[in-house]
Structure 1
Amino acid sequence: MNTSSEPLAYFLTWTTYGTWLPGDARGWVRADRPGVWEECAALAASCRERLTEPPFVLTTDQRRIAESAIREHCEVVNWSVHALNVRSNHIHIVMTAVGKAGDRVMSSLKSYATRGLKSVISNRKKFWTRGGSARVLWDDFAFENAVRYVIEDQDRK
């Protein structure tokens, strides 16, 4: 059990630009309300119309670039990566960044992944959706489940 005021880790998730919009048939989340929301085709269509670039799907090489940039940045700033999975349309990471807020850490990781991707894709402006999920993991149970999900459960969906 964690008795510290510091979380054991963060479970961060963010999606690539335009690939998982509000109203999506797979379910979607809102920053201002808890839970997973059901499909809303009209909302999804409205969001698609407002995209300023085509949706961004990471290729295998781009996934490697993003992962490398994230790992390198974490090493430089002494953050611990416990699990990382860069998918074609989203990224999951379980990591520890002592003294840092989860949303700030996620913003920093997105920035460094973008820098890496810009080295091979110079004409794109948006790689990621705004925000993401920054769950705080306070205990071993939550930590172990998040690591297992990131490492083992992504291909079971």
Structure 2
Amino acid sequence: MPNTLGILVTMTTYGSWLRGDRRGWIDDGQLMPPCPALETADRVRMKHTQYKFQKDALIEVGRMIGESLVARQGQQILAMSVDTWHAHFMISATRLPIGDVVKCAKDAARYGLRPGRPIWTDGYDKRFCFDERTLANRIRYVERHNERHGWPAKPWPFIVDFDPIKPPVSI
């Protein structure tokens, strides 16, 4: 298996992207077609209303997530964006299980905001990058989310540039 250069993670907020969603949905890494009946059934089972971050809190939520990933796990964050209903972050290859990384990110926002209810959906999407072109394209994808908000591509100081000279971690 080739060396992993980076991992793009996408996390959605509670109730914002259910199974069966009209935009499609992910099941075990596979894109599934819309299924309105399934989406309706999942929505009926929700114990809380859909959660969205307030627009004026997005930078702060990103700060909480990024600082926690760096301080608690030593992650190198190559890109990050936070929107009202989802967040993306791209990290360099890591030896930690990706589930532990995502838990750290989700917990940081949850503890920081203390909403008294779920704010994240279960699970997450992950995309591994094995070559510099894919990595650069996915970093740019995340940066464009920030620019759509009128922010700089890298609005937090913990975001680092990818260093192709530093050897990647085999995972």
Structure 2: distance between partners of 1:45 and 1:75? 38
Which residue matches 2:122?
A: 130
Alignment partner for residue 95 of structure 2, among 76, 96, 99?
A: 99
**SS of the residue aligned with 1:88?**
coil
Q: Which residue of 2 aligns with 1:9?
A: 6
- 1:144 Cα deviation from its structure 2 partner: 0.6
> Which deviations, in whole Å up to 9, do the C-alpha atoms of 1:118-146 show, x marking residues without a partner?
1xx3xx32010001012221211121111
The two structures, once aligned, show a CA RMSD in angstroms of 1.9
Runs of 4+ in 1 over 6 A off after TM superposition: none
Question: Cα deviation per residue 1:77-128 (whole Å; 9 max; x = unaligned)?
Answer: 321111100011001101125311222211111111211111xx3xx32010
Task: Report the counterpart of residue 45 of structure 1 in structure 2.
Answer: 40
User: Aligned equivalents of 1:40 and 1:3: distance in 2?
Assistant: 36
Task: State the SS of the aligned residue for 2:52.
Answer: coil
**Amino acid across the alignment from 2:33:** E
Amino acid at match of 1:44: E
Q: Unaligned regions of 5+ residues in structure 1, if any?
A: none
Query: Quick check: 1:106–1:134 contact (8 Å CA) kept in 2?
Result: no
Residue 68 (str. 1) matches residue 63 (str. 2): yes
Which residue does the alignment assign to 2:158? none
Q: Which residue of 2 aligns with 1:146?
A: 138
Percent identical among aligned pairs is: 27
Find the aligned partners of 2:107 and 2:145 in 1 and give their Cα distance.
Answer: 26
- What's the TM-score, normalizing by structure 1? 0.84
Aligned ranges for residues 27-38 of structure 1 at < 5 Å?
A: 27-31=24-28, 34=30, 36-38=31-33
Partner SS, residue 115 of structure 1: helix
- Is 1:87 the counterpart of 2:79? The answer is no
Q: Could you tell me which residue of structure 1 aligns to residue 152 of structure 2?
A: none
Asked if structure 2 preserves the Cα contact closer than 8 Å seen for 1:102 and 1:136, the reply is no
The aligned amino acid for 2:111 is R
Displacement of 1:3: 5.9
Q: Name stretches of at least 5 consecutive residues in structure 2 with no aligned partner.
A: 149-171
